[in-house]
Structure 1
Amino acid sequence: MWNSDDLGLDAYLALLGYDGDRSPTLATLRTLQRAHVLTVRWDTLDSFLYRRVRLDLASVQDKLVRRGRGGYCFEHVTLFAAVLERLGFAFTAVSGRVQLGADSAHPRPATHAMLLVEAEGARWLVDVGFGAGPVEPIELVDGAVSEAGPWPLLLRWQEITHGSSGWAVHGPGEGADGPAGWKVRQVFTENPQYPVDFAVGNHYVAAYERSPFVVRPFVQRLRADRLDTLDALTWGTERPGEPPVREAVRPHEVPKLLDDVFGIRTDAEEAALLVRRLAALAERA
């Protein structure tokens, strides 16, 4: 299903710095998810530059593993699903709706890819493509809390869209659909998704003229104690318990910033194209 026969597993694990057990256990899953989220880069540059993102496993491996570029949820899940399939895990892919800036009355399209993985007699939400965590599996039970990352996460079963129930992942904050002190990050149902379904959602996110990933670049890097983001020409840094820091950057500064802060490498041609597109974006703004 997920083309794991074409996976370069050793190269992927070397990128993660993982040389541990390869049996399909919860401990293996936890270690791999944490290493993936903190190591494999996250960006939407291909959507912004080319309006095209390839999901075949060969292209995803070349981009994320060999070239040191980042990708978004569909690419991360394509890669991680192939890894889990090769290692013998049982899992189901699902789609979610990112709700940050939205609510259950005004849902966004279901264009966020995730996995529900079976381990030790339970099912676990594995979300390696959100960019800002989570860094460990979250058990699929109402009220489950994860405190492994810089910020805690809460999983609840609740109304998610127009009277329909499903799962909601909450992070710290205040929002209309969350309990006090929490806001909804994304919602999802357990309806199984397949590579062809992700291809449809990926085309919308990568190519639709009003997709947020088409109109400006967005980059994230999560570390154990901070989150860095680049939203168009604004570089932000967040640390637990501290106010966010925002800094404006100029188009020609972005390629070096990507390398130095986000660990994302662009070649000379791609860097030049990125600077031109960002300069045009700044002029329109």
Structure 2
Amino acid sequence: MFTNQVELSLFNEHLEDKTLQAYFNRVGYSGEKEATYSTLELLHYLHPQAIPFENLNPFLGIPVRLQLSDLVKKMVLEGRGGYCFEQNILFGHVLRTMGFLVKGLSARVFWEVPEGEVKPRDHMLLLVQVGGRKYIADVGFGGSSFTAPLSLDQMEEQLTPHEKYRINKVDEFFYLEIMIREEWRLLYRFSLEPQLLPDYEVVNWYLGHHPASMFVTSLMAARCMPWGRYALLNNQFTTHRKNEESIKQTLTDIKEYKALLEEVFLIQLPDHEGMMEKLKKVVTEA
């Protein structure tokens, strides 16, 4: 029988008090620092409103680093966002520091994937235990991120401040679905096998460097709001309001595009030599 002398964990670092407070300031949290469901619920609601989903780094050819110090610097101190690995690793460390039991999981995405195409397990989510119950948390799924933790013990539909979701279990896999226009649509499939940082770093490198990766070829951003969502794919900007038809807009002006990233998506744009040229191509060629 083989045993590990040291239990391997993704979230074995604790944030310093000043760093945790800086995160709270960024997301607008002023509640108790206790590992309760209500704390998890509120943080999960606030995070995607304050820290946007965005992929500027791979789009501009800037490495995406997953070390905790890099994530804090980028998304807490520098006013940037990130994609799933960045968002959920940071969120997991915040929760672990507060006393939650947290593990990293991986998922195979089916959302917006053409029928017959097989994607790798390239998405990260979290398993959080609180009050003797298991929940999944995910603040990094872009325009379809759920805004409340979802119970693994509840197979019927679950309400969030935004859409309805449900989780079905088949053998060892869980299938997460979202209701869009009265129709259930599959987001992703996951299992409860814990993942470690090297597992994510391999996929992260692929997504940030492969020439066919949509994170390299396209610019994306998303932000939740109390009343709905903002979403951006290249020069297509969409406003989703609850129980209303979505409003789509094609952006063709570089100044308007830059202002949208800064003022609507709350992204403090990086100081990158080729950024403006890349953005101009988005609004003229996409």
- TM bucket by the smaller chain? 0.7 to 0.9
* Fraction of identical pairs, as percent: 27
Task: Provide, for residues 5-32 of structure 1, a one-character-per-residue CA deviation record: whole Å limited to 9, x for no partner.
Answer: 3551111112122222212121221122
Task: Give the equivalent residue in structure 1 for 2:173.
Answer: 166
**Which string of whole-angstrom CA distances, capped at 9 and with x for unpartnered residues, describes residues 41-89 of structure 1?**
2101101001521111111111111111110110011111111221121
Q: Structure 2 regions of 5+ residues with no counterpart? A: 1-9
Q: Give the Cα separation in 1 of the matches to 2:110 and 2:278.
A: 28
Structure-2 separation of matches of 1:11 and 1:217 = 28
SS of 2:216's equivalent in the other structure is helix
CA distance in 1, matches of 2:115, 2:168: 14
TM-score of the aligned structures, taking structure 2 as reference length: 0.88
Q: Structure 1 119/6 Cα, relative in aligned 2: closer, same or farther at 3 Å?
A: closer
Which residue among 154, 157, 167 is the counterpart of 2:169? 157
Q: Which runs of 5+ in 1 are unaligned?
A: 159-163, 175-179
Task: State the distance in 1 between where 2:69 and 2:127 align.
Answer: 24
1:177 alignment counterpart: none
Q: How is 1:73-92 mapped onto 2 (pairs within 5 angstroms)?
A: 73-92=84-103
2:131 matches 1:120:
yes
TM-fit CA distance, 1:234: 0.9
Aligned to 2:158: 146
Please, which of 30, 33, 51 is the counterpart of residue 19 of structure 1?
30
- In the alignment, is the contact (CA less than 8 A) between 1:38 and 1:135 conserved in 2? no
Aligned to 2:184: 182
Aligned-residue offset at 1:3: 5.0
Counterpart position of 1:28: 39
1:162-213: CA deviations, max 9, x gaps?
Answer: xx75111111238xxxxx8200012111111011111111111111111111
2:234 matches 1:220: no
* Residue aligning to 1:261: 264
Q: CA deviation at 1:95?
A: 0.4
Q: 1:68 aligns with which of 79, 83, 86?
A: 79
- After superposition, where does 1:35-54 map in structure 2 within 5 Å? 35-54=46-65
1:277 and 2:284 are equivalent in the alignment = no
Q: Secondary structure at the match of 2:103?
A: strand
Aligned to 2:4: none
Whole-Å separation in 1 of the counterparts to 2:114 and 2:128: 27
Contact 1:51 1:207 in 2 (8 A): no
| Amino acid paired to 2:276 | V
Match of 1:161 in 2: none
Equivalent in 249, 252, 255 of residue 250 of structure 1: 252
Q: CA deviation at 1:274?
A: 2.8
The two structures have a TM-score, normalised by structure 1, of 0.88
Letter matched to residue 128 of structure 2: V
1:130 is aligned, of 141, 146, 158, to: 141
Q: Distance in 1 between matches of 2:213 and 2:111?
A: 15
Alignment length (residue pairs): 273
Q: What SS does the aligned partner of 1:4 have?
A: coil
Matched residue SS, 1:141: coil
Map of 1:187-206 to 2, 5 A cutoff? 187-206=189-208
Give distance in 2, aligned partners of 1:103 and 1:116: 28
- Cα distance, 1:265 vs. partner? 1.6
Distance 1:201 1:142 in 2: 30
RMSD across aligned positions (CA): 2.1
Q: Which residue of 1 aligns with 2:3?
A: none
Which range moved further: 66-75 or 8-17?
Answer: 8-17
Deviations 1:85-144 (A, max 9, x none): 211211221001221123785331111111111111110011111133211111113524
